[in-house]
Amino acid sequence: MRSRDGNKTFSLSVCSIILFHSLALCADEYLISYRYLVRDAQLYKETLSISHAMQKCTGVSTNSLILQTNNNKNLKQIISLKNEKFIAYVHKLGLNVKHREKTSNFQNTSTTILTLKTTCFKVDFNDNFAKITALKTAE
């Protein structure tokens, strides 16, 4: 017959594994897309779309971004307050670039569009920060 003291470390290890996996699984998933339009070297329009994912996202986690939240759970407000940091993170993920130049009557005009296709992000909220992680799908 086993003693109860011998099962104590096993029980603690099982409980800790369950706890840490449940914390990782409770992350919210969001679909985020970003578009940046520049005309004649001036920012013309910038669009950031954020919505909750309706289905479970699949993919491999990439590097994460940590933003200070001050106990705020609204992702759009968090990103708008730390806009420059988030945009730098999105640029590292990879953007689709389209550039067009046109000359008419010695007038040169150019248009550049930077687009992040809709990407799934896992977001872990804590009291003081939000950890944002992009999920890359295997192609």
Taking only the tens place, the pLDDT of each residue in 16-69 is 444 444 444 457 889 888 888 999 888 889 888 888 888 888 888 888 999 988
- Residue 117: both structure tokens together: 């296709």
Q: Let me know if residue 46 belongs to a domain.
A: yes
Q: Let me know if residue 4 belongs to a domain.
A: no
Q: Let me know if residue 20 belongs to a domain.
A: no
For residue 6, what pLDDT is reported?
54
For residue 112, what pLDDT is reported?
92
Number of domains in the chain: 1
Domain with 36 in it = 28-136
Q: Let me know if residue 55 belongs to a domain.
A: yes
Give CA–CA dist 42/39, Å, rounded. Answer: 5
pTM for the model stands at: 0.67
For residue 13, what pLDDT is reported?
54
Q: Let me know if residue 126 belongs to a domain.
A: yes
For 86-127, write each residue's pLDDT tens digit: 888 988 888 888 999 999 888 999 999 989 888 899 999 888
